[in-house]
Structure 1
Amino acid sequence: MLVQCVGPRIRICGYRGNVLGKSIGKRGISVFHGVSETLIHIHNASSVPWVVLIPVGTILLRTITTLPLSIWQRKRIVKQQELRKLVQAVPPVTKLRLAASMASRTDNSISSSGSVAGELVNGGSRSLTPEQITLLAVKETRKRQKRLFAKYNVQMWKNFILPLVQIPLWVTLSMGIRTLTEKRLLETNSGELLNSIVPPTLDLSLPMDSLPMLVPLVLGSLALANVEYNGKTLTTTRASNAGIILAPNDHSRASQAMTSILNMSRFGCIFMMGISSQAPLLLSLYWISSQLYSFTQNLVLNWLWPYER
């Protein structure tokens, strides 16, 4: 690795000869190597310190790539919630029609054409248990909800687009920065303000040994704040916003699934804290910047397009 001294600063300029070949052979994945090389070129061209380049680059990249998708997804989820309220009346009506058709035992059912009740009566079934009636009502609700979502172009499968973009992007940048810090990365900061915050000649390829718990605590606090805020947002109802406290149903499948997801996310925050205590400082700085951006983004999106169940 070549290191060029420019005034009071030290920056990485590139690789030479066999060092590049050995480095590529060790990394193995050219995508991560390309990310690290791109960061080096941007750093050399802009002369921006690493501790400023990584947070600013994270903000710009997230604003260009994931922010439009997040806005699109939030609008779609809000629309889905509005449409779900329209189909909430379907289960009791369907149950009533099924019960009436079973009681009358005639083909002159009150069910509408094409409904589950109509298909059931025309099929010749004459006996239904309460469990079967509930199951058929759920199927009818899902079928109508699917048609309604397709009509307004808010299909459920589109909710997976944002994670399919955001997760690979986060992994690629994390591994690219990790590849960048395989060699010792030193930089002397320039500027009185930056020198008063960041110690000079800080090794960004190593954890912060002077304050070993600072980075894990900051990262864990931001990650946990994101998890708790998202969990609170997803469980917000119109009644709770009006100050009405409803008794939660902790035994429902939806409640148990949400609790499991939140517990796994909390465990992930603790796991990330442990990793950040041994990760390079530059990589931890990227994680902190990404978590801070996500938290701010969630606050703004929930203010502009509030989510209510």
Structure 2
Amino acid sequence: MYQTTIALHRLPLHLTHRIYRFLHTTSSCYNLFALGSTALYTVHGTGVPWWAAIPLTTLLIRSVMLPVVFWSRNRMIRYARIKPLIKAWEFQYMKLSYFDSEKIKKLNQKRNELFHRHSCHPIGSLVLPLVQIPLFFIMTFVLRGMSGSSFLLFSGLNVPVEVSLAHEGIGWIQDLTVSDPIGFLPVCLGLISLINIQLNLDFYKEMVSVPIFLTRLAQGNALVFTFVSMQAPTALSLYWVTSSLFSVIQNLVLHFVKPLPYFPRHFKK
């Protein structure tokens, strides 16, 4: 084992990384983290410095997810088109037969048949967040590990520290393993997050009524996330800012390319 360690230290960093991952086998769950690491090293292996490789990898991963995004958007559009009919049914049944279990059962059956006919069951809306949220955390933990910082829960991921992150920055962020010294990226992250929250409120107000306390909670979380990023490695802040900016542009494109149909306001109640 000692000889193997010495041999690894004599190899170039990128080869050491590959052998390190080969010698330390992990469960299938951790293979997802290896995929995130591989994506970063693949882009960096083209000769791109880390300050550009991290945003480029983020854009690449988010672009790969676009088919799922458009699939989910098309389902949302179909659901919006039939929602006035569903609301009319619900109003009629609830008014005339609120305590009639048979009528309620019939309403649910008709509603499910309509969802099936138009391929727009609301449960399908969970697909996109079920893919995006784990991916977000995977890339977060991988970049934290590469920067020399890791959560205790994932301390066994065997993500090696990437020493070149310390000298492949740009401008005022030469060392990507430490936090942004002037706090520019965290502030950008907070502003972009708040913009994205407002866009979602404006674009989806015809689909769902969001309680004001949930809006304030989301805005508060964006501010908390800003302070968290002030303590995070700059490599991680680069990923968060790029991903958040992509979300804003994606929402704008979807709003104008695939707008949600408008339905009368009284159907919302």
Which residue of structure 2 lines up, in the alignment, with residue 51 of structure 1? 51
**In 2: Cα distance, 1:265 partner to 1:154 partner:** 27
2:159 counterpart of 1:159 = no
Supply the AA of the counterpart residue of 1:51. W
Supply the AA of the counterpart residue of 1:167. I
Checking the alignment, whether the CA contact within 8 Å between 1:215 and 1:284 is kept in structure 2 is yes
Flag the 1:236–1:31 CA change in 2: closer, same or farther, 3 A. closer
Q: Write out aligned runs for 1:30-41 (5 A).
A: 31-32=32-33, 35-36=36-37, 38-41=39-42
- For structure 1, the 5+ residue unaligned runs are 5-10, 99-116, 118-130, 190-197, 238-253
Q: Deviations for 1:149-205, whole angstroms, at most 9, x for unmatched residues?
A: 11111112111110110011111111111111114422357xxxxxxxx32881110
**In 1: Cα distance, 2:231 partner to 2:173 partner:** 19
Checking the alignment, whether the CA contact within 8 Å between 2:173 and 2:180 is kept in structure 1 is no
**In 2: Cα distance, 1:93 partner to 1:188 partner:** 64
Checking the alignment, whether the CA contact within 8 Å between 1:187 and 1:203 is kept in structure 2 is yes
Checking the alignment, whether the CA contact within 8 Å between 1:188 and 1:200 is kept in structure 2 is no
1:88 Cα deviation from its structure 2 partner: 3.5
Flag the 1:12–1:291 CA change in 2: closer, same or farther, 3 A. farther
Supply the AA of the counterpart residue of 2:174. L
Which residue of structure 2 lines up, in the alignment, with residue 202 of structure 1? 174
Checking the alignment, whether the CA contact within 8 Å between 1:206 and 1:280 is kept in structure 2 is yes
Flag the 1:95–1:31 CA change in 2: closer, same or farther, 3 A. closer
Flag the 1:70–1:31 CA change in 2: closer, same or farther, 3 A. closer
1:234 Cα deviation from its structure 2 partner: 1.4
Which residue of structure 2 lines up, in the alignment, with residue 223 of structure 1? 193
Which residue of structure 2 lines up, in the alignment, with residue 76 of structure 1? 75
Checking the alignment, whether the CA contact within 8 Å between 1:12 and 1:40 is kept in structure 2 is no
Checking the alignment, whether the CA contact within 8 Å between 1:74 and 1:305 is kept in structure 2 is yes
Percent identity between the two aligned chains: 26
Greater per-residue strand proportion? 1
Checking the alignment, whether the CA contact within 8 Å between 2:190 and 2:226 is kept in structure 1 is yes
1:136 Cα deviation from its structure 2 partner: 7.6
1:306 Cα deviation from its structure 2 partner: 1.5
Which residue of structure 2 lines up, in the alignment, with residue 127 of structure 1? none
SS of corresponding position for 2:240: helix
Checking the alignment, whether the CA contact within 8 Å between 1:219 and 1:291 is kept in structure 2 is yes
1:138 Cα deviation from its structure 2 partner: 6.3
**In 1: Cα distance, 2:233 partner to 2:10 partner:** 19
Checking the alignment, whether the CA contact within 8 Å between 1:222 and 1:292 is kept in structure 2 is yes
SS of corresponding position for 2:14: strand
**In 1: Cα distance, 2:94 partner to 2:241 partner:** 51
SS of corresponding position for 1:76: helix
- For structure 2, the 5+ residue unaligned runs are 1-7, 149-160, 264-269
Supply the AA of the counterpart residue of 1:13. H
Checking the alignment, whether the CA contact within 8 Å between 1:84 and 1:145 is kept in structure 2 is no
Supply the AA of the counterpart residue of 1:69. V
**In 1: Cα distance, 2:171 partner to 2:36 partner:** 26
1:228 Cα deviation from its structure 2 partner: 1.0
1:236 Cα deviation from its structure 2 partner: 3.7
1:225 Cα deviation from its structure 2 partner: 0.7
Checking the alignment, whether the CA contact within 8 Å between 2:58 and 2:242 is kept in structure 1 is yes
Checking the alignment, whether the CA contact within 8 Å between 1:181 and 1:280 is kept in structure 2 is yes
Flag the 1:140–1:199 CA change in 2: closer, same or farther, 3 A. same
Checking the alignment, whether the CA contact within 8 Å between 2:173 and 2:234 is kept in structure 1 is no
Q: Write out aligned runs for 1:53-202 (5 A).
A: 53-64=53-64, 66-91=65-90, 93-94=92-93, 98=96, 132=99, 140-182=106-148, 183=161, 184=163, 185-188=165-168, 198-199=170-171, 202=174
TM-align CA RMSD: 3.4
**In 2: Cα distance, 1:207 partner to 1:267 partner:** 22
2:250 counterpart of 1:294 = no
Q: How many residues align?
A: 236
1:94 Cα deviation from its structure 2 partner: 4.3
**In 2: Cα distance, 1:267 partner to 1:81 partner:** 29
